[in-house]
């Protein structure tokens, strides 16, 4: 039974490797889709700066503290998933910074550089 599981895992890894080669984006397609959905929700949040890197993000009576430098949010979704939550995205847009820099490296495609020396 373990041999069957090993073969199944080997086949899956090869299938995923072939898919990975076809990616044209730096991010995994599934993560990009989730990220685009969350990006649409940022417009409902009002950003209030409380220092250089700390912000309060409000919508009605709901508020969350966002620390841009340490990449944390009061909702804790950013820390748990590695993908900025809607509150963090509102802050990043407020600062006019590229969003892709704030996604965890584990979701990004590694670019291999070969040298001919």
String of DSSP letters for 17-82: HHHHHH--SSB-HHHHHHHHHHHHGGGG-EEEE-SSSEEEEEETTEEEEEETTTTEETT-HHHHHS
Is the pLDDT at 117 greater than 60? The verdict is no
Task: Please provide the size of the chain in residues.
Answer: 117
The structural domains of the chain, with segments of one domain joined by +, span 25-107
pLDDT tens for 3-45 read: 999 999 999 999 988 887 787 777 888 888 888 888 888 889 9
Degrees, nearest 5: CA angle 30-28-18: 105
Extract the tokens encoding 72: 């944390």
């Amino acid at each position: 039974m373990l041999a069957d599981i090993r073969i199944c895992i080997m086949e899956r890894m090869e299938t995923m490797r072939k898919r990975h080669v076809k990616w044209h984006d730096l991010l995994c397609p599934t993560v990009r889709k989730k990220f685009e959905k969350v990006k649409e929700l940022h417009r409902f949040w009002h950003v209030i700066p409380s220092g250089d890197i700390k912000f309060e993000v409000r919508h009605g009576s709901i508020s969350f503290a966002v620390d841009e430098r340490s990449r944390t949010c009061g909702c804790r979704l950013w820390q748990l998933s590695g993908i900025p939550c809607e509150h963090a995205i509102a802050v990043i847009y407020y600062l006019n910074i590229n969003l892709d820099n704030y996604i965890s490296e584990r979701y990004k495609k590694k670019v291999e550089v070969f040298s001919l020396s």
